[in-house]
A = this chain, B = another copy of it.
Amino acid sequence: MSDYRILSGQWVLPMVPRGAALADHAVVIRDGRIVEVLPLTLAVDRHPGAEHQSFPRHALLPGFVNAHTHAAMTLLRGVGGDLPLMDWLQHHVWPAEARLLSPEFVRDGSLLAVAEMLRGGTTCFSDMYLFPEETAKVVDTSGIRAVLGLTVIDFPTPWAQTPDAYFEKGERLAGHWQGHERITFTVAPHAPYTVGDDSLRRIVQRAEAMNVPVHMHVHETAHEVDTSMREHGCRPFDRLANLGLLEHAFAAVHMTQIDEAEHERLPQTLVSVVHCPESNLKLASGFCPVARLQKNGVNVALGTDGVASNNDLDMLGEMRTAALLAKGVAGDATAVSAAQALEMATLNGARALGIGDRVGSLEPGKQADIIALDLGHLEFQPAHDPHAQIVYAATREAVTDVFVAGRPLLRNRELLTLDLEEVTTMARAWRERAQAI
C-alpha cells in the first residue's frame, strides 16, 4: 500500500474544532502524517495521486489515548475481584506480582495488552510498570505508540532494588529508545505513599532535564490523604507542590479527593488529571469531580488503569462510564457530553502526556493515528448523532481499522502486526500460573 492516501468516512470527527462532525469528509495522509481534512469530493480533486480507501458506514476519528495503564497486568485479569484497594493490593495483586514478575511476564502481558488495545481503537497508551524495556520492545515491533513511565518506587522489586537502581534503569531505557518516533517517556514515581521526598526531588530534576511530564498516582483514596496528613502533616497535593513537582507538566492519576483550595489552585498549575472511572468505582476509591475540573479549565484525560482493576483496556467502555458517571456525580445531565468524552479520550490524553502537538486530533501536520468505527450495525440505528452513538452505544467491536503514523495495524478487525491466535494461546497459558498463587 502506498503511503499517500485518502481515507474517507460517512463522518469525520477531528476533535478540533471541538464537537465537529463532518459528513462525507476525508482525511488525507502522507508519510505518516495528516495533510488535511476536507470534503471527499475536494480531496479527490486535490490529491489525484493518492490511493482512496473508503469507509462508507464509518466514523473516522483520532485513535484513543489511554492515559494510564499497567499493560503487563493484563495477565492478572480478574484476579481478586470485588475487593477494596488495600486488600486487593496486599493480598492478591502484590503477592501475584511477587511470584510472577519477570521480563517474560512483562513481555507477554504487554503483548496481550497491545493486541487488546489495537482491537479496541487505542493507538497510544501511557504505561507505568516494571521491566519497561520489555514493553518498549513490544511497542516497537507492534507499531502502536506509547508513553512509557520511568517508574520509581522506594522499595525493592524484581526489577530494581534501590532508588538509585530505578533511576539508572530508567535513564538507560530512555537513552536506548531516544528519538524513536512512537516511544516517548514520563518520569513515573508510583504514588505519594511509596516514594519519599529525596526521590521526588530527583524526579523533578529528571523531568526538567528530559523535558517530559511526571506521571503519578495522586489522591486515589481518602485513606491516602489521611495517611499523608499523619506522616507528613499535609495533603499529598501540598507535599508535591512544596517539592516543586506541580510547576511542570504533571499527569495526576485518579484525584478522587480534591478540596476547595485544590480546586482553586489546580487551574493555575500545569497539572492534567487522568480520570480512571472504572477502576475508581471497582475499588470504591471515590469519585473524581470531572465536571467541576473541566468547568475550571483543568485538562482531564482518560485511562483504563490496569486490567486487574477494570477488567479490560476498553476505552469506548471507559468513555461511556466517564460520561455517565460525571452526570451522576455532578447531579447535572449536561456534564461531560458525548463530544467532551471523546475529547478526553483523545486530545486531552495527548496533552496530558506531553504529545498534544503531535497526536490526539485530526489536524494537518499531526501523526496519522486514525481509527474507523463502523456505525452501520443494527445497534446504532437510527443514527441521530455520531458522538452519542459512539460514546453511549458502541462496543469495541465497532472498531474495524486502526492506523498509527499512517501504518495500518488493524484491517477489518484483523491484527496485521500481531498473531491473534498466538497471543490468545499465550495468554490462556498464563491462567494456571497466575492462579497457582
Which residues of A are in contact with B by a Cβ distance under 8 Å?
A: 75-79, 81-85, 87-88, 112, 115-116, 119-120, 278, 280-284, 286-287, 310-312, 314, 317, 320-321, 324-325, 327-328, 330-335, 337-338, 376-385, 388-389, 392-393, 395-397, 420, 423-424, 427-431, 434-435
Contact = CB atoms under 8 A, between A and B. Distances in A.
B115 A378 contact: yes
Given A311-B392, A321-B321, A427 B382 contact: yes
A84 B337 CA distance: 12
A302 B382 CA distance: 25
Given A333-B284, A428-B382, A430-B382, A393 B311 contact: yes
Nearest to A256: B328
Nearest to A415: B378
A431 B383 contact: yes
A429 to B, nearest CB: 8
Contacts of A335: 284
Given A381-B424, A383-B431, A395-B395, 11 more contacts: A78-B388, A82-B388, A282-B324, A282-B327, A283-B333, A284-B335, A311-B389, A314-B395, A376-B424, A381-B427, A382-B428
B311 A382 contact: no
B283 A84 contact: no
A427 B393 CA distance: 15
Contact of A328 (B284, B337, B397, B429): B284
B396 A284 contact: no
A119 B379 CA distance: 9
A115 B378 CA distance: 8
A85 B327 CA distance: 12
15 contacts: A77-B380, A77-B383, A81-B338, A81-B392, A82-B333, A82-B334, A82-B337, A284-B330, A310-B392, A311-B392, A325-B325, A378-B420, A381-B431, A382-B431, A395-B396
Contacts of A338: 81-82
A200 to B, nearest CB: 29
Nearest to A79: B384
Contacts of A282: 324, 327, 333, 392
Nearest to A287: B328
Contacts of A333: 82-85, 87-88, 282-284
Contacts of A381: 77, 112, 424, 427-428, 430-431
A332 B84 contact: yes
Contacts of A330: 284
A278 B377 CA distance: 21
B78 A384 contact: yes
Given A284-B335, A331-B284, A384-B435, A424 B377 contact: yes
B77 A384 contact: yes
A324 B321 contact: yes
A172 B113 CA distance: 56
A338 B327 CA distance: 24
Contact of A388 (B81, B87, B376, B380): B81
Contacts of A328: 280-281, 284, 286-287, 325
Interface centre among A379, A392, A431 (most CB of B within 10 A): A379
Contacts of A324: 278, 281-282, 321
Contacts of A380: 77
Contacts of A428: 381-383
A323 to B, nearest CB: 8
Nearest to A384: B78
Contacts of A75: 382
